[in-house]
Amino acid sequence: MIEFVLEAMVDAVMMVDAEGRITLTNSGATHLSGYTREELCGLAISRLLVDESSGMRTVVRRRIEDGDVLRREESWLVSKKGERIPISITGSPVIDDRGTLQGIVLVARDVREMRQLLAEKEAEIRRRRALEDELRTAKSQIESQLDQTRTQLLLAERRATLGTLAGGVGHELRNIAQVQIAAVDELAAAISAGEDATSFARRILPELERVGDHIAEHGERLMQLARPGPDHVEPLDLNGVVRDVAAMLKLAGKLGRLAVQLALPDKPVTVTVNRTRIEQILVNLITNAVDAIGHEGRITVEVSPSVDERRIICSVRDTGAGIPESELDQIFEPFFTTKGDAGTGLGLTVVRDIVLSYGGRLDVRSVPGEGTTFTFDLPA
Ligand SMILES: Nc1ncnc2c1ncn2[C@@H]1O[C@H](COP(=O)(O)OP(=O)(O)O)[C@@H](O)[C@H]1O
Ligand SMILES: [Mg+2]
């Protein structure tokens, strides 16, 4: 009866007596080992099983004597031809009525196929890991290139702002120079007409002096714009910066026929920032307002301290086209522009970066068809 059960099993089954000799096997065992049933019978199990690492033989003695069922996933069977076949093995004790160990039933399973599968899977995992590593490296390279590009673009954006302002300063310089030239012409005319040049000169000298100061100031400003230098911060009156930027944009022809209305407090409002950075914010917000208005409309720049006077709030308001609600989230993204080739999509990205870097906030409110207000604040 028991033989039928044994034959029905695909695994190799071997009964071993207390001396470690095989007493009973099935065809699974003959298949796996290459020995005939006759050869197996009486063979010392130690010839068949090698399990140096775990000491199967020791375990056979020790653990199984204690009545344990033993299970090992990694063991070896040495076939008749001397081939080492990986197996998983289970051993259970055969104990008689008096509790004496009569032998062990060993069930061994050929795990070559499973190992092969496992090895293939592991190789696949290694391949994937290598691939992931490659992807990670490529990604970080791309990211650092993007970073570089971003830095370059931001620099280009800054240069464009500075160029606009420099253009305005240049125009202002020319206007001032024209005042000077006119005064000098008048003086020359008075002299050649034999008029009292001295009293005329005395009258226009203070004006010429003022003009000279003005020219020196603007020359200085041009040099600053040409070489912005490191971002050093200094206490500035925001009112003054707003006035300057509005005037320079006008002179640089960036406002078209529009005028920027200023709503500034009487007292100076001091913020400790880098001048060029604040100019960059204002230039970007005001030129966006100009673009949104087209021909007719109003741009208002308002400055006011917060109620607790700890922050300075500045808003740029226009009566332009407004921003559709669906675009409100996107306008701060780099390269988002609705102006086609005329836009860079960097203006608001830059504005937000600068405001955040000073611990400020930037807010937008817009009603399509009515206009838009950008508001930022800075620590006072
Ligand atoms: N005041 C505004 N009114 C209406 N739309 C605006 C205003 N400011 C910005 N936008 C929208 O946000 C987009 C992004 O602005 P910006 O980052 O300055 O890039 P750019 O001006 O180069 O397009 C603009 O293309 C425009 O669609
Ligand atoms: Mg812009």
Contact predicate 70/63, CB 8 Å: yes
Pairing verdict, β 84-95 and 101-110 = antiparallel
Q: Supply φ then ψ for residue 29, to 5 degrees.
A: -70, -40
Distance 375 CA to ligand 2 centre (A): 15
Distance 234 CA to ligand 1 centre (A): 29
Task: Provide, rounded to the nearest whole percent, the portion of the chain with pLDDT above 70.
Answer: 94
Q: Summarize the confidence of residues 126-145 as an average pLDDT.
A: 96
Q: Summarize the confidence of residues 173-183 as an average pLDDT.
A: 88
Check whether 258 has a pLDDT greater than 90. Answer: yes
Identify the pLDDT of residue 40: 94
Identify the pLDDT of residue 318: 98
Which ligand 1 atom sits closest to the C-alpha of 322? Answer: 4
In this structure, of 213-222, 266-275, 353-362, the range with the lowest mean pLDDT score is 213-222
Question: Which residues make beta-bridge pairs with 108?
Answer: 12, 89
Identify the pLDDT of residue 54: 47
Token pair 């005319």 is found at 189
Q: Which residue has the CA at smallest separation from atom 27 of ligand 1?
A: 338
Ligand nearest to the CA of residue 283, numbered in listed order: 2
Identify the pLDDT of residue 284: 96
- Interval 207-230: pLDDT, tens: 889 889 989 988 888 888 877 667
Identify the pLDDT of residue 67: 58
Identify the pLDDT of residue 135: 96
Identify the pLDDT of residue 184: 87
As a residue count, the chain comes to 380
Ligand nearest to the CA of residue 289, numbered in listed order: 1
The tally of CA atoms less than 13 A away on the side-chain side of residue 265 is 14
What pLDDT band is residue 369 in, cutting at 50, 70 and 90? very high
Ion ligand 2 neighbours, Cβ < 5 Å: 288, 347
What pLDDT band is residue 60 in, cutting at 50, 70 and 90? low
Q: Indicate if ligand 1 lies below 6 Å from the C-beta of 331.
A: yes
Identify the pLDDT of residue 22: 93
- Interval 64-95: pLDDT, tens: 556 566 777 778 899 999 999 999 988 888 88
Q: Summarize the confidence of residues 171-199 as an average pLDDT.
A: 87
Check whether 55 has a pLDDT greater than 90. Answer: no
Which ligand 1 atom sits closest to the C-alpha of 350? Answer: 17
Mean pLDDT of the chain: 89
Select from 108, 136, 114 the least CA-distant residue to 49.
108
Q: Indicate if ligand 1 lies below 6 Å from the C-beta of 338.
A: yes
- Interval 228-250: pLDDT, tens: 667 789 999 999 999 999 999 99
Check whether 21 has a pLDDT greater than 80. Answer: yes
Distance 172 CA to ligand 2 centre (A): 24
- Interval 283-338: pLDDT, tens: 999 999 999 998 899 999 999 999 999 999 999 999 999 999 999 999 999 889 99
pTM for the whole structure? 0.66
Terminal Cα-to-Cα distance of the chain (whole angstroms): 98
Identify the pLDDT of residue 278: 94
DSSP string, 323-364: --GGGTTTTTSTT--SSGGG--S-HHHHHHHHHHHTT--EEE
Q: Which residue has the CA at smallest separation from atom 8 of ligand 1?
A: 288
Distance 369 CA to ligand 1 centre (A): 15
